[in-house]
Structure 1
Amino acid sequence: MSPKRAPSAPPELPGYDYVSLLGSGGFADVFLYEQLLPARRVAIKVLLPDAVNRELIENFRHEANVMAQLTTHPSIVTIYGAAVAPDGRPYLAMEYCSKPNLGVRYRRERFAVPEVLSLGVQIAGAVETAHRAGILHRDIKPANILVTAYNRPALTDFGIATSSGGSDDSSGMSIPWSPPEAFETPPRSSPASDVFSLGATLFTLLAGRTPFELPGGSNTSVDLIDRIGRGDIAPLARHDVPARLESVLASAMDPDPSRRYPSAMAFGRALQQVEAEMALPVTPLDVLDDSVEAGAVDEEDGGATRIRGVVSIDPHAGEQPRFAPMPGMAGAAPDATIRRARPGETADASAPVAAPVAVAPASRRRSWATAVGAGLVVLVGGGIVWMALSTAQPQQAANPSQTIAAPAAPQRPPAPINVVGTVTGDSVEFTWVNAQPQEGDQFQYRYERSDGDPMISTVPLESVVVPRDADGESCVLVTLVRSDGRSSNDTRGCVSG
């Protein structure tokens, strides 16, 4: 939890009962809620009222959409939904991972080598899946790897915005786990950057400290950035860590991106090879690839690599992944440690691009299984269509005496938030944020003056200028009015002077 501020009040959410605070960050709080239907505990991340602006809302929505694309991966936190609370704050409802995250654990206990290897392979599969979807995480670190009730690691926090709403659309980074290219001007980011951060994360779990932290020495941000740029990794000093594993981690954290593993999958396979050399069970590497034909499976590696689509690939093979950078992928995700470059920049164009993964022909037995599966899909799909058509029909009473419930009343739109006043001479300009803008929105304001009748009017924009109150404090009440006539609760804003 951030020590710099008190947590915000949990919002009242329809269908959820508040339980407790889980944690706080620079721009959001995470609360535990009990969902009423279906009955389950969920983690809900809510933006802070004072931090909300149009850009932050858009980035928050982007995070929800990104996580929704990847949510089926077993090592990525599941997202249940996103909406705007009645008080105007956007929120994400996510899987509740009840166990301490890895950032908490590495400070309390020493991780065993087999566990670190298994964690690394599983998260490498999650990162590879994100890269194949054209998504860079940019903030892989121990605190962003949660642990489910079934002891499964789950990667979270994809692309959290750290802009404060100024003209500089910069984002923060977590310095101890960031690659050297993140500190360049302008900063660069590529799949190799995530490989670096994952390698640094695994090193941290083994060492109980970050890779470039010098025990007993100076470890300021400037010191860390200098050592990261030179590749000065402090020794692990653990006799139970094989030299091969130290070499794999050093390669992942090479200062030169071109000398790192070319993909998260290649890094995961290197970790699998260490498992095999230590006579440990080889952890499956799960990767989602929608371009792979369903039913095409190659079992040469005994299922050590599972590409959901579905195909299994030999973990000792050497092909590189496809990666198409999305616009605005430059820079790292936040840790509010230092500021970094604008997200409008593209990822490093020099990142290696490889040919598509070859698909092995399916066996006759698997073809039969695929046919049976397809038949089941048709049957189930037919049932779904029948249900959809049935529910689409107008509902009628079974008998004349049966009462049909009336449709629910339209829900109120979210109230304006962050109503702030600025005094300029004899005038005050009030501004606010529309958390869920729609076409045709207007704002009704009521300005209460101590020396006259209240001023009531409607404006189309998110600001209004009124005369400064002679009493010393100027206050306004703002209400959002939709084009269909629905209105929100009002929000009060005051300024002295």
Structure 2
Amino acid sequence: MSTRRPAAPPPEIPGFHYVDVLGSGGFADVYRYEQELPRRQVAIKVMLADGAVSDAAQFTAEANVMAMLSSHPAIVTVLQAGVAADERPYLVMEYCPGPNLQVRYRREPLSVAETLRIGIPIAGAVETAHRAGVLHRDIKPANILVTEYGRPALTDFGIAATAHAPSEATGMSIPWSPPEAFGDVQRSAPRSDVYQLGATLYTLLAGRSPFEIPGRSNGTADVVDRIQTLPLPRLDRPDVPESLQEVLAKAMARRMADRHPTALALARDLQRIQAELGQTVTPIDIIDERPVAERGDDSDGGRTRVRGVVSIEPQAAGGASVDADTVLRGAVSIEPVDATVIRPPYSAKKADAPRTEISAESARARWPWITAAVVVGVAAAGVVAAGVPALLAPPEPQETTATIAPQDPVAVVPAVEQLTGEVAGDEVVFTWTNPDPEDGDSYIWDAAAIDEEPDPEVTEETSVTVPARGAQTCLTVTLRRANGTSSADETACVGG
């Protein structure tokens, strides 16, 4: 948040003691307080006393959205909300002591490894919001905080909107906004958030926003014109692999149809780059929305793998601003063995069961808000259950020092080729080829329009027929192996 204006005096809030100011924004200030019971540091966002009625409604909407989503490990946790004695609404949130990513990149660009470790969990958070029907609409470095455990956490859903309804909230962060935000009729869709996340990752690597050109005029009109007309400039860094240049260019394509169809698809591309570079692959956390009967078990050919709730990585976790080479989390260092952590909704009968990882592609139904909130308690219980035995167990030298060799959970799966479409009356027939067929291959395809949420389907054929959609019909196809790994997306469009 900006600190250009002085913050208003902090309100008196029962059960909390004021500590200091964290920042100030357009219609609210953020302070650090100490909560009395349980005793802990918290961040409290307080609306300005002269806020308009629309600002109050926006503030309330932000509180509700963040509460709905804050069970996700890469979204800042909301603890409570209320109205202070001076009638200013406030929102009590998890305190993230690390500098936000805007502060970090302005000091110096981040490494490729750290940028990937940040991008993947944040993409999982964005995917979770989209599955809940929420668009963030303001993803940028300043809105990614760092928790006490060094993990990135997305915050500030102040101008969020549902994916199916417009929002009256105004405001945008121009350097990270997609081209469609500047049209005569502003549009927002899940792929708009994908663009902003891509622009954020580009910024972390470049040390500046994507269309800011050093030594030239970078006023609002200049930046907007470049966003709308210029291709994405290449990152001038020899350590950035070509594959990452291509993934960022796809995420920030000017046409929405040319971008990754989902934040999850972007996360998987980032995982593949980690595997390509020989790095530990960061898990993706999303909610498993399928019925229990459809989740399979541990013997389904590797698609489902059980992993402990606590994982310890040799790198600083999640993009932390940590200089030390070692992060202490327990006695044994274990690398994650799957690419995607899909968290099942809470069940009282399953509360003590281990977390299950499923490399699933479907699961589009909305998960209940109450169930999502209760997952926090389950995850916390799992952490305690997994951590306490490791801390209390007597030391065994060989096991304590042993490290399970890292495994790349994402195999290199080739994308489909020769994806083309042919108009046949009021339908379009799309066909493609598989460059390296294997037993059990299937294809995930999605013909949603660019302003619609993705609605993928699965086929074992190399052809699908879809209804023609006005001026242009597009299809996105992903090759999926029998073990659950998948390729990058390929998209083709045909004029009507």
TM-score interval w.r.t. the shorter chain?
0.5 to 0.7
Equivalent-residue separation in structure 1 for 2:83 and 2:34 (angstroms): 18
User: What displacement does 1:4 show?
Assistant: 4.3
The correspondence for 1:312, drawn from 354, 357, 364, is 357
Which residue does 1:26 correspond to in 2? 26
SS of residue matched to 1:105: helix
The AA in structure 2 aligned to 1:70 is L
Equivalent-residue separation in structure 2 for 1:106 and 1:287 (angstroms): 27
* 8 Å CA contact 2:3, 2:23 repeated in 1: no
Quick check: 1:17 aligned with 2:7?
A: no
Which residue does 1:41 correspond to in 2? 41
SS of residue matched to 2:357: coil
- After superposition, give the CA deviation of every residue in 1:278-327 in whole Å (9 maximum; x if it has no partner): 0111100111243453864564383210111165344xx8x477388xxx
The AA in structure 2 aligned to 1:113 is V
* 8 Å CA contact 2:3, 2:25 repeated in 1: no
SS of residue matched to 1:42: strand
Which residue does 1:155 correspond to in 2? 154
Which residue does 2:253 correspond to in 1? 254
* 8 Å CA contact 1:131, 1:191 repeated in 2: yes
CA RMSD of aligned residues (A): 2.7
CA 67–161 in structure 1, closer or farther in 2 if over 3 Å, else same: closer
Quick check: 1:353 aligned with 2:455?
A: yes
Which residue does 1:182 correspond to in 2? 181
* 8 Å CA contact 1:292, 1:311 repeated in 2: no
The residue correspondences of 1:3-14 to structure 2 (distance < 5 A) are: 3-14=3-14
CA 349–196 in structure 1, closer or farther in 2 if over 3 Å, else same: closer
Equivalent-residue separation in structure 1 for 2:193 and 2:17 (angstroms): 37
* 8 Å CA contact 1:231, 1:254 repeated in 2: no
The correspondence for 1:322, drawn from 364, 370, 392, is 364
The AA in structure 2 aligned to 1:306 is V
The residue correspondences of 1:79-478 to structure 2 (distance < 5 A) are: 79-160=78-159, 169=168, 171-293=170-292, 296=296, 299-300=302-303, 302-309=337-344, 312-314=357-359, 319=361, 322=364, 349-355=451-457
CA 132–351 in structure 1, closer or farther in 2 if over 3 Å, else same: closer
Identity level (%): 56
Equivalent-residue separation in structure 2 for 1:356 and 1:155 (angstroms): 31
SS of residue matched to 1:114: helix
Larger RCO (CA under 8 A, 6+ residues apart) = 1
Number of residue pairs the alignment of both structures matches: 328
Which residue does 1:390 correspond to in 2? none
Question: Please, what TM-score do these two structures have when normalized by structure 2?
Answer: 0.62
SS of residue matched to 1:26: coil
SS of residue matched to 2:223: helix
User: What displacement does 1:109 show?
Assistant: 2.0
Equivalent-residue separation in structure 1 for 2:291 and 2:126 (angstroms): 18
Question: Please, what TM-score do these two structures have when normalized by structure 1?
Answer: 0.62
- After superposition, give the CA deviation of every residue in 1:347-394 in whole Å (9 maximum; x if it has no partner): 97444322499xx99xxxxxxxxxxxxxxxxxxxxxxxxxxxxxxxxx
Equivalent-residue separation in structure 2 for 1:311 and 1:287 (angstroms): 11
CA 128–17 in structure 1, closer or farther in 2 if over 3 Å, else same: same
CA 78–296 in structure 1, closer or farther in 2 if over 3 Å, else same: farther
CA 244–254 in structure 1, closer or farther in 2 if over 3 Å, else same: same
Unaligned runs of at least 5 residues, structure 1: 163-167, 325-346, 362-497
CA 105–45 in structure 1, closer or farther in 2 if over 3 Å, else same: same
User: What displacement does 1:170 show?
Assistant: 5.3
Equivalent-residue separation in structure 1 for 2:272 and 2:148 (angstroms): 28
* 8 Å CA contact 2:27, 2:55 repeated in 1: no
* 8 Å CA contact 2:98, 2:147 repeated in 1: yes
Which residue does 1:414 correspond to in 2? none
Structure with larger Rg = 1
Equivalent-residue separation in structure 2 for 1:281 and 1:121 (angstroms): 12
User: What displacement does 1:118 show?
Assistant: 1.1
CA 3–79 in structure 1, closer or farther in 2 if over 3 Å, else same: closer
- After superposition, give the CA deviation of every residue in 1:42-78 in whole Å (9 maximum; x if it has no partner): 0000000112x32222221111111111111110000
Unaligned runs of at least 5 residues, structure 2: 162-166, 305-336, 345-354, 367-448, 460-480, 483-496
